[in-house]
Structure 1
Amino acid sequence: MNSLVSLSRETVESIGETVATLPPGEASMVERPELHSDLSAALDRIGIGKLYSHQVEAYERLAAGENVIVSTATASGKSLCYKIPAFQRVLESRSSRALFLYPTKALAQDQLGKIGGFGLKRVHPATYDGDTPRELRADLRRRSNVLLTNPDMLNMGILPSHESWADFFRNLEVIAVDEAHVLRGVFGSHVAAVLRRLRRVANIHGADPKFVLTSATIANPQELAETLTGLPFSLVENDGASSGERRVVFRNPPLLDEEKGERRSLLVEGAGVFSELVGRGVRTIAFANTRKAAELIYRYAADRLGKGAADKITPYRAGYTPRERREIEGKLFRGELLGVVSTNALELGVDVGALDAVVCCGYPGSVASIWQQWGRAGRGEGPALAVYIAGRDALDQYLFENPERVMGRRVEAARVTLENPYILGPHLAAAAHEAPLDADDEEFFGPRYREVAKGLMDERKLAGSGGRLVYARGDRPAAGISLRSASSAAVMIADEEGEVIGNAEASRAPSELHPGATYLHRGRSYEVDDLDLEKGRALAKPATGRYYTKPRIDTDVEIVEEEERRELSGGAVLCRGAVRTTDAVTHYKKVQVADEKEVGVYPLDLPEVTLDTQALWLTLPPIPRGESVSFESFGGALHAAEHGTIGLLPLFAMCDRSDIGGLSTPTHRQTLLPTVFVYDGYPGGVGISQRGYEEFEALARDTLGVITRCPCESGCPGCIQSPKCGNWNEPLSKDGAVQVLRYALGQVDRYPTL
């Protein structure tokens, strides 16, 4: 019996307000198409008689020579949409090959086991990733006809060595890209370039494979598929799968101080709900937005459950060793664990067995991700519980007050770009290393191909030879590309015995791994003892106290080029364009976990970090003559308006709050005016600030509504305070932010001089 059934209605209601009970949905089943006898027998063996209607539609469209994007709900059997046609072709022809791409190694390993469950003797699957022993790789290239890998390995290990894979690429017929909805922003843009390189290499070897992409429900699946690959696609979106009953609960941590707007910590609240469910035997997964948050929720929950029961839960996140990840996944699947606290590393389709409840701790970056996380529970016959716990920041509080923004399933569009030279340039260098570039390669790499290629020639990375462009250096350029971050540079974190316990992007290291910073790993606290950016190494020792650290960051924004502008009311102007930001981490402070009390402030001397990116900026007209202005309060007004805008921007652009930066100043050194900047946190930009520019009026109105409705007196995390603020939320003016936003929207004529 599903363990949720044993929970009383009172217990479910005690977790939070039940927003909705979603009824079960009936399946639309159809007869299987005519398949190879071995495949039909395998499907019968694993209990698949008829297929969902969307599975058959995908099969038929692919058989007709179309590229297919399948966009249906979590747990709707999307993987069969590419497995069945790929297996069919392999069984029909011994030379046929298929390539299955997954965003994570964990998902590929999980799917390998499922493919083995088909028992098809002529289908030889294998995973090929960074965990594959080198001594086995040559053999896998020869005998595998269904290869499971990830974009990182395709980028660094397969495409640069495509001559060794000549037989595989020559016979490649089906390319599947699973969980395509996560391919957005920087990661998605990098993967788009990798997929263009993949098409080019297949073409060089004489193949023209068809693509099958699968995605959770997003607003633009067909557009995403076509942008990722550069090919036309057919959309399959009529979901034929059944769905179980789902009870949806929204929970807001209680106010501790109404005047200050202080609420109980999201981490403490999440740990409480998680431990309550696990304590009652409910198999539960809790999702946290950061590695640190996952570790803290786990620690708090373990403390609540006590010894013995705490052995039934575990944290799970990126940065663990492959052995640790496989061990946790196996224990979950076998039912040896009752609960896991994870980052989005388990948001995808890794099969961890039947789960009954999902606790979503804070906004995960998109409404689509909320539904994806909730979909991890309820794959059995019984009902499922889906919980959303609002954080203290403005966006979470906005969603708690407006649950229809989630329940209406108005999901966002995923955006990727090949227009960013910081992304396209390294991939053109990698493509030239794979085979010389020529004019026809614009078909693969898009309209900025020639411009970016010329820039690489100016940098002497490419050189002309016989009418083509060759890679002019002696290294392997693909090895320098990090698909999941702005830079390939990383810092390894080691403990006192030299054992590696994690890693972080080099660009984030000064703020996250500075000397004295706290670092959490599997529930244990470490204090960073030394950071060596040149060697890419941080040394950490076990921490003696229970505290966390916050860096202070001084930021400068230089306008490089204004690309667009439009006049707002009262002389305010909104602009968009290229900027260069400079961050300097100057201090950090220690804060006790138990009571949020400050322990002390300590100076730092670290190198500055610069970033060339895209931004929007709002300028106000000069302060009227004769006005008496407190620059601290006016600066606090601009600062608060900046925070509020950044807080809600993720609802308009499919991104995380940490993807966005900002700066506000009463007098900017270039504009010579009061200015508020909001910028993309990635080199070259990925369209976040552009989306904010396009939707500024709606964004400003929603931000104004959040601030004015917040019950606090002078500003709190629910309206204008930011957990990421490099100035420790100083100064801020709630009333001033209201005046600034109303002025920019034309609701008042009086200048917000305070």
Structure 2
Amino acid sequence: MTEAQEINPLAEMSSRAVRSLGDTVASLPPREATLVTMPELHPELAEALRKMGAARLYSHQLEAYERVRAGENVVVATATASGKSLCYKIPAFQNALGRTKSRSIFLYPTKALAQDQLGKIKGFGLRGVHPATYDGDTPQALRADIRRRSNVVLTNPDMLNIGLLPNHEAWGDFLRNLEIVAVDEAHVLRGVFGSHVAAVLRRLRRVAELHGGNPRFVLTSATIANPQELAESLIGLPFSLVDDDGASSGPRRVIFRNPPLLDKEKGERRSLLTEGALVFADLVSRGIRTIAFARSRKAAELIYRYAAERLGIEGSRRISPYRAGYTARERRDIEGRLFDGDLLGVVSTNALELGVDVGALDAVVCCGYPGSVASIWQQWGRAGRGKDPSLAVYIAGRDSLDQFLFENPPRVLGRRVEAARVTMENPYILGPHLLAAAHEAPLEAEDEQYFGPAYRGVAKKMMEERALASSGDRLIYARSDSPARNVSLRSASSQTVLIADVDGELIGTAEAT
């Protein structure tokens, strides 16, 4: 037995304790890493990687690097915690250290993830890499300095839409030298949100090329059925797929649990929230670092409350809820306490499904079907990073789909994950983005290369609505406002409600209904 196993609380659980959690439906074996020799890199970058413990790369990291250096657009689809971010950081940093004018944009789906990655990039200690976040929290006084001095800008789709693209003239030198655009967590870019982001990324391609830039795109994705198709749909360019995962993984035990029947005749079972709280509290009480995922904010708060009651005053101090709607300061505090080990467990919505680094976790409890098999695997992947063993628990809710999955574990374990789809042919999505694009620079017939075959028909409709007007052989925006601000990327509502206490202190946010 290794030292790691001796101190890992999972290894100390008795067989009886494991059985009490539910039915073990799979014991997934560990996987050894496929390590390869470091390519020839700038000495400062190579030394920084060595100090971080990456004297050699995973095979998929090297493949991605070589393809990007060869001028290809690349999508990397490997498991959670497989070091995907190095697939775009290494070529971007190599460019920055070799050419002082080189610029990169790293696009993250949330501000929290961008802030997390900013700290990691600064941890490289590279004197020639000057990163900065550019989001709604960035003070106006700093924005011009970021445009001039930063060669790696971390942002999100919303800020790209309303901050950078409408002001692309001010970003002209940056865009002219833009060499890498990284899109992290691309698997979340599906449906309406993904289609909006696809249009934003097409607009970015267009204005970059207007200024003489020709960036390579590097996308990273968790396991989905169609990573290459998704990448090409998002960007509108050919992509190479890197999906041969060279990272190691520890052994994982998968447990399915069905809440007990309360009334056999009616088929009524104990509440999913109660059951989730029981399992979560049991694991935390054993010193097992655990995250429980709930399907809504309310569910996360209730599971936390029930678990806190079960753990008592002392135990409840080691757990916390975590969800969207908290202030940035509150989220940073929870993430920091979890990373440092002050917290043993959190109950989260899918806000932590993305790759914010909260340290090494031992167990994940998935409270109900989260909407896709891909999300189940993404949630389970938050535990057992590296070679550490992990525990993954799926608790079925009362609805028929949850019960079906409980009765048919191969539907989950077979890894038949769903495809992610976006479209550039929905006029209600494309139309507002064509207005924004026309405001950025007059539209021309050749812009169909960016916006696809629906471009001409939707542009004609915008002319009929007098939002676009002819100017010679080009189309210009015919109104006086900034159309990008009328585009809500994430929901039908473009308004956010601020929640404050009686003293006026901001305590959270919520979307307007």
Q: TM-score, normalised by structure 2?
A: 0.96
Q: 2:28 is matched with which residue?
A: 22
Q: 1:253 matched to which residue of 2?
A: 259
Contact 2:361-2:385 at 8 Å conserved across structures: yes
Do the aligned residues in 2 keep the contact of 1:266 with 1:361 (CA within 8 Å)?
yes
> Aligned with 1:306: secondary structure?
helix
Question: Which residue in 2 is equivalent to 1:357?
Answer: 363
Count of aligned residue pairs for this structure pair: 507
Are residues 1:483 and 2:489 paired?
yes
Q: Deviations over 1:574-633 (max 9, x none)?
A: xxxxxxxxxxxxxxxxxxxxxxxxxxxxxxxxxxxxxxxxxxxxxxxxxxxxxxxxxxxx
Q: Which amino acid is 2:461 matched to? A: G
In structure 1, how many angstroms separate the alpha carbons of the residues matched to 2:483 and 2:172? 21
How big is each residue's C-alpha offset from its partner over 1:214-261, in whole Å with a ceiling of 9 and x where there is no partner?
111111000000000000000111111111000000001111112222
- Contact kept, 8 Å, 2:111 with 2:156, in 1: the verdict is yes
In the alignment, residue 120 of structure 1 is paired with which amino acid? L
**Residue 465 of structure 2 corresponds to which residue in structure 1?**
459
Mark the CA change 1:500 to 1:120 in structure 2 (over 3 Å): closer, same or farther. Answer: closer
Give distance in 2, aligned partners of 1:201 and 1:6.
57
Q: Which has the higher contact order (CA 8 A, sep 6+)?
A: 2
Using the TM superposition, name which of 374-383 and 49-58 deviates more: 374-383
Does the CA contact (< 8 Å) of 1:52 and 1:240 recur in 2?
A: yes
Distance 1:49 1:380 in 2: 16
Q: In the alignment, is the contact (CA less than 8 A) between 1:5 and 1:382 conserved in 2?
A: no
Q: Deviations over 1:180-226 (max 9, x none)?
A: 11111111111101100110110111011000001111110000000
- Cα distance in 2 between the residues matched to 1:11 and 1:132: 49
Q: Determine which of 9, 13, 16 is the counterpart of 1:7.
A: 13
The question of 1:156 aligning with 2:162 is answered yes
Q: CA separation in 2, counterparts of 1:382 and 1:403?
A: 24
Aligned to 1:297: 303
- 1:107 is aligned to 2:132: no
1:4 touches 1:382 (CA, 8 Å); kept in 2?
Answer: no
Q: State whether structure 2 residue 389 is matched by structure 1 residue 383.
A: yes
1:49 aligns with 2:61: no
Which one of the candidate residues 215, 236, 241 is aligned to 2:242?
A: 236
* AA matched with 1:415: R
Aligned residue number for residue 313 of structure 2: 307
Partner in structure 2 of residue 210 of structure 1: 216
Task: Name the amino acid aligned to 2:352.
Answer: L
Q: Which runs of 5+ in 2 are unaligned?
A: 1-6
Counterpart of 1:222 in structure 2 is: 228
* Consecutive unaligned residues in structure 1, runs of 5 or more: 510-754
d(CA) in 2 for partners of 1:164 and 1:318?
Answer: 32
Which of structures 1 and 2 has the bigger CA Rg?
A: 1
Q: 1:480 Cα deviation (Å)? A: 1.8
Partner of 1:324: 330
- Asked if structure 1 preserves the Cα contact closer than 8 Å seen for 2:249 and 2:387, the reply is no
Instruction: Decide which structure has greater strand share.
Output: 1
Whether the 8 Å CA contact 1:67–1:212 is kept in 2: the answer is: yes
Q: Secondary structure at the match of 2:168?
A: helix
Alignment check: 8 A CA contact 1:131 1:322 kept: no
Secondary structure of the structure 2 residue equivalent to 1:163:
coil
Quote the Cα distance in structure 1 between the aligned partners of 2:387 and 2:73.
34
Structure 1 residue 6: Cα displacement: 2.2
Q: Which structure has the highest helix share of the two? A: 2
Paired position in structure 2 for 1:447: 453
Aligned to 2:488, what secondary structure does the other structure show? coil
Contact kept? 1:2, 1:381, Cα under 8 Å:
no
Aligned pairs for 1:397-412 within 5 A: 397-412=403-418
Separation in 1 of the partners of 2:221 and 2:447? 28
- Which of the residues 379, 383, 393 maps onto 1:373? 379
1:285 partnered with 2:299:
no
Match of 2:4 in 1: none
1:33 aligns with 2:39: yes
Which residue in the other structure is 2:399 paired with? 393
Map of 2:341 onto structure 1: 335
Give the 5 Å matches for 1:274-673.
Answer: 274-495=280-501, 499-506=505-512, 509=513
Shift of residue 307, structure 1, vs aligned partner? 1.2
Distance 2:293 2:10 in 1: 19
Return the letter of the residue paired with 1:299: R
Q: Contact 1:492 / 1:503 at 8 angstroms: preserved in 2?
A: yes
Residue aligned with 1:413, SS: coil
Q: How far off is 1:63 after superposition? A: 1.1
Deviation at 1:15, TM superposition (A): 0.7
CA drift at 1:22: 0.5
Q: 1:295-336: per-residue Cα shift (whole Å, max 9, x none)?
A: 111111111111121111111111111111111111111111
Deviates more, 1:44-53 or 1:218-227: 44-53
In 2, distance between residues paired with 1:288 and 1:385? Answer: 17
Secondary structure of the residue aligned to 2:317 is helix
Deviation at 1:380, TM superposition (A): 4.6
CA distance in 2, matches of 1:12, 1:170: 58
Aligned twin of 2:99: 93
Residues 646-675 of structure 1, C-alpha deviations (whole Å, 9 max, x = no match): xxxxxxxxxxxxxxxxxxxxxxxxxxxxxx
Alignment partners' CA distance in 2, 1:405 and 1:25: 22
Read off the aligned partner of 1:388 and give its amino acid letter.
Answer: Y
What residue number does 1:74 align with?
80
CA distance in structure 2 between the aligned counterparts of 1:25 and 1:173, rounded to whole angstroms: 35
Structure 1: distance between partners of 2:65 and 2:28: 30
SS at match of 1:355: coil
Moved over 6 A (4+): none
